[in-house]
Amino acid sequence: MLTEVKNQIKVSFLSIKYALLREMLNKTTFITNVIFMILNNASMIVQWIILYSLKENVGGYTFKQILLLWGIAAGTFGVSRFFFSKAFSLADTINSGKLDAYLVQPKNVLLSVITSEVEVSALGDILYAYIMLFIYGFTLPTFLLFTMFCIGGGIILTAISIILSSLSFWFQKTDVIADTGNRLLTSFATYPDGIFKGLAKILLFTLIPVGIVNYIPVDILSNFNLGLTGIFLFATFLLITLAAFIFYKGLKRYSSSNLMNARI
């Protein structure tokens, strides 16, 4: 069991490494992609400079906390899109029958698929996240916590995409739903939760867990809270389990399914 897990992790990292090497073949494109993504995120600061010129406090956040929120948003996005890029085009992989290639390998199908590509610009997001952390204020504990939140949050985003994409095992044309769901999470991620009220706020901590991925980490980093950290870790664990469960349920259907597009 233990060696199996070890081998699986080794293969996944090797896969990510090779995928990265592929992207680095063209150095100029690689570097421009990374730098442009950093600039992309940085450009949105304009919005907040203007908003903070109108009010000192937006949605209960100071300007520095907004930067931290951006850091978490970019970091979680970056981790999910860099390491598990294929989880975000999984619906397409399922629809076009491209899972076949992974089914003849003696490894975890889900992990093999999602680690088979990397998105280079996501490295820019990750770098940007740490730039924001440095502006916010760097200490070793915040650095470690921040890293944990980026990885955990990235995994949550990946898990959600896997769950939404797995709909494609059962229903057709659901790839747009997965896309919309993923976009929804990023849309909310950079706005402070204080501006939302009522039902929206409840949704943000449940169905659309932006609250768990983004707001709770900012909260903890500003003011450490063990209970909230526990909630965060529990949610991460829960979503991984759920994603794996639904994906494998779907995979079974994929193999025994009679629905066919390009698979005859």
Give one DSSP letter per residue of 187-213, joined into a string.
HHHTS-GGG--HHHHHHHHTTSTHIII
* Contact between residue 113 and residue 157 where contact means Cβ atoms under 8 Å apart: no
State the residues that interact with another protein by CB under 8 A. 3, 7, 10-11, 14-15, 18, 21-22, 25, 28-29, 32, 36, 39-40, 43-44, 46-47, 50-51, 54-55, 58-59, 100-101, 103-107, 172-173, 176-177, 180, 183-184, 187-188, 191, 194-197, 200, 255-256, 258-261, 263-264
80 vs 108, which CB is nearer to another protein? Answer: 108
**Shortest distance (Å) from residue 124 CB to another protein:** 12
* Contact between residue 77 and residue 189 where contact means Cβ atoms under 8 Å apart: yes
**Shortest distance (Å) from residue 191 CB to another protein:** 6
1 vs 54, which CB is nearer to another protein? Answer: 54
5 vs 238, which CB is nearer to another protein? Answer: 5
* Crossing angle (nearest 10°) for helices 175-189 and 140-170: 160
**Shortest distance (Å) from residue 33 CB to another protein:** 9
As given in the structure block, the two tokens for residue 236 are 């991460």
Residues in the chain: 264
Rounded Cα–Cα distance for residues 45 and 63 (Å):
10
**Shortest distance (Å) from residue 260 CB to another protein:** 4
